[in-house]
């Protein structure tokens, strides 16, 4: 009877392998550290200057030539109005496009493949191009809306629409075929299957996609400059056809002023913008976790 | 000389021969039915009758087109754009693929249960109620749901938790839920595509018992890989095989033999059938 030495039965790992494993892990952590570090530095710089500036007066005052009295009420309301117009536009149009592309379009036809490629490209087009588009077709041109909230909201909507379409398509695609087959085998029509089974199951993904699209839209400045958001506005918009301003523009305008106090104001406005972004992303994450489905 | 190989299958219900009194009414009459995917034939020349209130089993090796054929019977192949169906499928003397036949109405009368249980991500109640609701069926929904669950032998287990999500049930319960869901629309035929292959033996046995109960009211066509199951539950069996064409490019399924289950498993006519049921080829 030979006793097997347990240590020798399992060979040791080679030293080179162990170092490689550690090295790889350290490299990955460093990359993560760089990204988070940059974000941390940014947040710190902004917070240092801006947190002090945010108070009730700041939020409720309008812009003013006097930096002590300048506030962001008009800009904040303008941003909220723009987001409202944006949502009302992107949700129905984006969801309907995604439903058509996923459920009705025959993917073997060349024109449908062309549409697909185009949507992917549209998501990558620089935002200033959308500003030019908005200026040419919404503010002037066929629709001639003028430099108003509606034009600004629609321009932002066009900018982020591809994001909504792509996210909605992913959400619809994630619904298993077996659910669709089960519904159709019971005698449901295609539309009944989509509206009663597929879309309800895809809502969390679509909601997350919409909120992420809005997160992008809220910070866009270039298209709004072109579409004509004013930078010195001392009133809130009260309708779709009013002129407006927005937070990114107010920040941009204040940063262009020579007085140092305006820089503090700008930092405060950035803090408010960050807070809005954080809130929206938190809602997106909560929605995703709440409705996450294990098929 | 080798002794004749025995067929290792126990026929547990001796009334497997169809009732001899009176002519058997045909629910389906298939004539020359075939399906091709983008021109390549998957199954062809299927001709046999499915009779009322019997269980008809389709058996055969993988890839011989049994499921494809089953899906012809309720026009589910319409969902696949590349599929083309030829031949005649007569359901109570109506050609299912004739002009003016609405697939939605076809599926109301011919229900289907799939291989992997696929309950909707909704409550048990809403799962059963979905079919009646989309078809606009009249009547008290609570009663319809209860009746369907009772017929599927699931009522006692779930009557206190109808509003709970269907995903909380075990695999066997989910499959019985899918059967109840198919029963709720009031069909007279149930098609089952390998309904037990994803289930454990105990759940399988319960569903087989359920099938024998359902036979009183419904005609059932079942595709199965499990020969013992076919022998246990079915009255008639169709044995499919796969043929390679000359260029060996396409595998096409055909029906080799269609006869009473007892005959198929004890004394089949065709040598290929005998090889399959004795386990010489799989």
Nearest-Cα residue of chain A relative to residue B177 = A182
- Domain regions of chain B by residue span: 25-277
Residue A16, pLDDT score: 83
How much is the average pLDDT of A144-172?
92
- Asked whether residue A269 carries a pLDDT value surpassing 80, the answer given is yes
CB contact under 8 A, A185 and B134: no
Q: Does B136 touch chain A (CB under 8 A)?
A: no
- Measuring CA to CA, which residue among A51, A18, A149, A154 is closest to residue A93? A154
Q: What is the pLDDT of residues A229-256, one digit of tens each?
A: 676 777 787 888 888 888 898 888 888 8
pLDDT the model gives residue A131: 93
Are the C-beta atoms of A172 and A105 separated by less than 8 Å? no
Q: Using CB atoms, pick whichever of B119, B121, B181 lies closest to residue A201.
A: B121
CA distance A115 to chain B (A): 20
The predicted pLDDT at position B82 comes to 87
More confident residue, A229 or B100: B100
Res. A37: pLDDT tops 80: yes
Residue A198 has pLDDT above 70, yes or no: yes
DSSP letter string, B158-177? HTT-TTSBGGGS-HHHHHHH
Give B-chain residues touching A112 at CB under 8 angstroms.
none
Is the per-residue pLDDT at B19 higher than 50?
A: no
Task: State yes or no: pLDDT of B7 exceeds 60.
Answer: no
For residue B81, the model assigns a pLDDT of: 85
The shortest CB-CB distance from B107 to any of A176, A178, A185 is to A185
CB contact under 8 Å between B79 and A181, yes or no, is yes
- Listed in sequence order, the residues at least 6 apart from B240 whose beta carbon sits closer than 8 Å to its beta carbon are B43, B58, B59, B60, B61, B64, B65, B66, B69, B253, B254, B255, B256
Question: Which range (A167-176, A190-199, B3-12, B64-73) has the least confidence?
Answer: B3-12
How does pLDDT run across A83-121, given as a tens digit for each residue? 999 999 999 999 999 999 998 887 778 888 898 889 989
Q: Are B107 and B75 in contact (CB under 8 A)?
A: yes
For residue B102, list chain A residues with Cβ-Cβ distance below 8 A: none
Nearest C-alpha of chain A: how many angstroms from B206?
Answer: 22
Q: Which residue of A has its CA nearest to B117?
A: A178
**Cβ <8 Å between A185 and B185:** no
With a CB-CB cutoff of 8 Å, which residues 29-68 of chain B face chain A?
none
Q: Given this model, what pLDDT does residue B16 score?
A: 43
CATH of domain A56-290: 1.10.3720.10
pLDDT band at A147, cuts 50/70/90?
confident
pLDDT in the model for residue B195:
93
pLDDT in tens, B20-75: 445 688 999 999 999 999 888 899 899 999 999 999 999 998 888 899 999 999 99
Q: Do A197 and B120 touch (CB under 8 A)?
A: yes
B50 contacts B28 by C-beta, under 8 angstroms = yes
Q: Quick one: pLDDT band at residue B15, thresholds 50, 70, 90?
A: very low
CATH fold of B25-277: Rossmann fold (3.40.50)
Query: What does the alpha-carbon distance between residue B269 and residue B161 come to, in Å, rounded to a whole number?
Result: 51
User: First-to-last CA distance in chain B?
Assistant: 23
Task: Name which of A179, A189, A293 is nearest B118 (Cβ-Cβ).
Answer: A179
Question: Looking at residue A245, what is its pLDDT?
Answer: 87
Do A181 and B107 make contact, defined as CB atoms within 8 angstroms?
no
List of residues 6+ apart from B50 with CB closer than 8 A: B26, B27, B28, B30, B56, B189, B219, B221, B236
What is the maximum alpha-carbon separation in chain B?
Answer: 67
pLDDT at residue number A7: 65
Shortest distance between the Cα of A98 and any Cα of chain B, in A, equals 19
Tokens 């909220």 label which residue? A80
Any bridge partners for residue B238, and if so which? B58, B258
> Is the sign of the CA dihedral B83, B84, B87, B93 positive or negative?
positive
Residue A41, class by beta-carbon neighbours within 10 Å (0-12 exposed, 13-18 middle, 19+ buried)? exposed
State yes or no: pLDDT of A2 exceeds 60.
no
Q: Name chain B contacts of A197, Cβ cutoff 8 Å.
A: 120, 130
Q: Quote the tokens at residue A142.
A: 């066929």
Mean pLDDT across the stretch B140-167? 93
Q: For an interface test with B, give the residue of A187, A190, A202, A293 to mutate (most B CBs within 10 A).
A: A187
pLDDT tier, B281 (very low <50, low <70, confident <90, very high otherwise): low
How many inter-chain contacts (A to B, CB under 8 Å) are there? Answer: 64
Q: Do A196 and B130 touch (CB under 8 A)?
A: yes
User: Three-state DSSP class for B49?
Assistant: strand
- Write out chain A residues lying below 8 Å of B81, CB-based: 106, 108
Q: What is the predicted pLDDT for the residue at B14?
A: 45
Distance from CA of B23 to the nearest CA of A (A): 31
What ranges do the domains of chain A cover?
12-53, 56-290
| Chain B residue with Cα closest to A199 | B121
| Selection from A27, A50, A30 nearest residue A38 by Cα | A30
pTM: 0.81
Tell me if chain A has a CB within 8 Å of the CB of B135.
yes
- Please report the residues numbered 94 through 123 in chain A whose beta carbons come closer than 8 angstroms to any beta carbon of chain B: 106, 108
């Amino acid at each position: 009877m030979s006793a097997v030495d347990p240590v020798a039965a399992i060979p040791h790992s080679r030293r080179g392998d162990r170092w490689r494993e550690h090295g790889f892990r350290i490299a990955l952590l460093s990359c993560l550290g760089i990204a988070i570090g940059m974000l941390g530095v940014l947040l710190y710089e902004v917070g240092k200057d801006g947190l002090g500036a945010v108070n009730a007066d700041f939020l409720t005052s309008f812009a003013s030539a006097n930096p002590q009295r300048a506030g962001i009420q008009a800009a904040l309301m303008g941003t909220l109005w723009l987001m409202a117009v944006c949502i009302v536009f992107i949700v129905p149009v984006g969801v309907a496009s995604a439903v058509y592309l996923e459920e009705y379009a025959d993917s073997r036809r060349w024109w449908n493949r062309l549409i697909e490629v185009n949507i992917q490209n549209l998501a990558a087009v620089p935002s200033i191009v959308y500003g030019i588009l908005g200026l040419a077709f919404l503010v002037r041109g066929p629709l001639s809306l003028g430099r108003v909230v509606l034009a600004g909201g629609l321009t932002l909507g066009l900018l982020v629409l591809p994001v909504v379409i792509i996210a909605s398509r992913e959400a619809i695609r994630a619904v298993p075929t077996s659910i669709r087959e089960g519904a159709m085998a019971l005698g449901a029509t295609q539309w009944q299957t989509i509206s009663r089974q597929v879309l309800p199951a895809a809502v969390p993904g679509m909601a997350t996609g919409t909120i992420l699209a809005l997160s992008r839209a809220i910070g866009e400045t270039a298209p709004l400059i072109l579409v004509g958001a004013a930078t010195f506005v001392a009133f809130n918009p009260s309708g779709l056809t009013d002129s407006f301003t927005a937070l990114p523009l107010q920040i941009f305008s204040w940063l262009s002023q020579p007085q140092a106090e305006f820089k503090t104001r700008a930092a405060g406005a950035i803090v408010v913008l960050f807070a809005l972004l954080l809130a929206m992303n938190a809602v997106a994450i909560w929605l995703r976790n709440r409705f996450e489905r294990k098929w | 000389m080798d002794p004749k190989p025995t067929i290792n299958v126990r026929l547990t219900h001796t009334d497997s021969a169809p009732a001899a009194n009176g002519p058997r009414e045909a629910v389906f009459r298939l004539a020359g039915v075939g399906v091709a995917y983008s021109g390549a034939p998957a199954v062809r020349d299927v001709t046999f009758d499915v009779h009322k209130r019997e269980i008809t089993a389709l058996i055969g090796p993988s890839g011989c087109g049994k499921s494809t054929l089953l899906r012809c019977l309720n026009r589910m192949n319409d969902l696949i754009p590349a599929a083309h169906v030829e031949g005649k499928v007569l359901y109570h003397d109506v050609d299912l693929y004739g002009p003016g036949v609405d697939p939605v109405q076809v599926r109301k009368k011919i229900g289907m249960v799939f291989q992997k249980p696929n309950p909707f991500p909704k409550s048990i109640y809403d799962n059963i109620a979905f079919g009646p609701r989309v078809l606009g069926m009249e009547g008290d929904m609570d009663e319809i749901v209860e009746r369907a669950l009772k017929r599927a032998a699931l009522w006692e287990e779930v009557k206190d938790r109808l509003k709970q999500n269907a995903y909380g049930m075990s695999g066997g319960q989910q499959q019985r839920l899918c059967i109840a869901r198919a029963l709720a629309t009031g069909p007279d035929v149930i098609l089952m595509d390998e309904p037990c292959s994803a289930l454990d033996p105990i759940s399988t046995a319960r569903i087989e018992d359920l099938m024998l109960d359902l036979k009183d009211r419904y005609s059932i066509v079942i595709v199965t890989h499990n020969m013992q199951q076919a022998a246990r539950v079915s009255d008639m069996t169709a044995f499919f095989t796969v043929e390679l064409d000359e260029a060996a490019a396409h595998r096409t399924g055909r029906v080799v033999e269609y006869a009473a289950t007892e005959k198929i498993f004890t004394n089949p006519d065709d040598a290929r059938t005998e090889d399959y049921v004795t386990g010489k080829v799989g």
